[in-house]
Amino acid sequence: MKKQLILENGEVLIGVGFGADQQMSGEVVFNTGMTGYQEILSDPSYCGQIVTLTYPLIGNYGINRDDFESISPAIHGLIVREVELAPSHWRNEESLDTLLRAKGIPGLSGIDTRKLTRMIREVGTLKGRICSMDVNVDEVVQELKDSAPLQDQVSRVSTKDPYHVPGKGKRVVLVDCGMKHGILLELIERNCDVVVVPYNTSAEEIIRLGADGVLVSNGPGNPQDVPETIQTVKDLLGKVPLFGICLGHQLLALATGATTSKLRFGHRGSNHPIREISTGAIDITAQNHGYTVDHDSLEGTNLIITHIAVNDETVEGLAHKEYPAFSVQYHPEANPGPHDANHLFDQFMTLMNQTQTANVLA
């Protein structure tokens, strides 16, 4: 069945629908990863977005039970050049088409994804709508132009209630702003005793839980839309070791007086090089974010830049000058992507151990 993607700039791209047969709007973004479509579509950081995959063939290895980054995908649509409806792989359990149908997510294939990606790179991310062929295009374009950006994505994808993942090691409180399961898995593999809490949990409650360390997760949207979490991070600084990933990185910056702004088309993919300033070492990283910490705004704060992006020199890592707190803009757990930066979880473990030792000696 023919369907179309209508963009707020008036562009219309016609393709063939798959997945759920329904209309859905969202911010149209692109991801350059060659594999990992299951992890991408289930990453809560894509909440409210229509994701364009630049690799031309998607769905060929199907869907399996192990590669989900969340139970309920929050994307608003998936756009591909070609979709494989009959996957072949020993781990395959269902097709991409059947999964999207079950989750109520529309897909659109047969689209010139190269053209769409070049358009987004030139003019920036665009609001769009996947819909049937019988709609009034001019009316849809006007509705897209008039629609306000979402501001509640984090509350949509964060856990509603705290839950415990028992372990015999350090007690880590994981603030869920749209957490990927890969982050939780990395903590479990290090024997951490993890308590996952909602994004708006207060610092007082986190301290009451007996946290040896706090990890503030990735998540969707504008970091300025979650003032509750910013306040929590501000109140935790100096009281407990803190590690921020992606959105958590931006929240650490905001909590210390820096500012953030929106990138034209964001960083989304599995091959983004970053440089560690102190050593010059290069890591290839997985990234998914549309906002960045403003470089100049860090002057006068207690944060130092530890990593920068090789491609555009945006801020990719921060550390606090006085307190045990650091953050990165990229995803050290990857899923999908290279595991060059996986050592950052070990750095967090070391930070918790050092802080505990210092407290005992004091």
Residues designated as active site: 246, 331, 333
Distances from the Cα of 324 to the Cα of 109, 243, 338, angstroms: 47, 9, 27
Contacts of 74 (CB under 8 A, 6+ apart): 44, 46, 47, 48, 153, 156, 157, 178, 220
Q: What are phi and psi of 359, to 5 degrees?
A: -65, -35
Tokens standing for residue 146? 């008039």
Report yes or no: 261 and 297 within 8 Å, Cβ to Cβ.
no
Phi-psi group of 10: left, alpha or beta (phi > 0 → left; psi -120 to 50 → alpha; rest → beta)? left
Question: Rounded CA gap, 73 and 293, in Å?
Answer: 27
Q: What are phi and psi of 72, to 5 degrees?
A: -120, 100
Question: Rounded CA gap, 104 and 109, in Å?
Answer: 16
The residue assigned the tokens 């702004």 is: 261
Report yes or no: 337 and 285 within 8 Å, Cβ to Cβ.
yes
DSSP string, 52-63: EE-SSEESTT-B
Question: Rounded CA gap, 63 and 91, in Å?
Answer: 8
Residues, the chain: 362
Report yes or no: 212 and 171 within 8 Å, Cβ to Cβ.
yes
DSSP string, 189-225: HTT-EEEEEETT--HHHHHHTT-SEEEE---SS-GGG
DSSP string, 225-262: G-HHHHHHHHHHTTTS-EEEETHHHHHHHHHTT--EEE
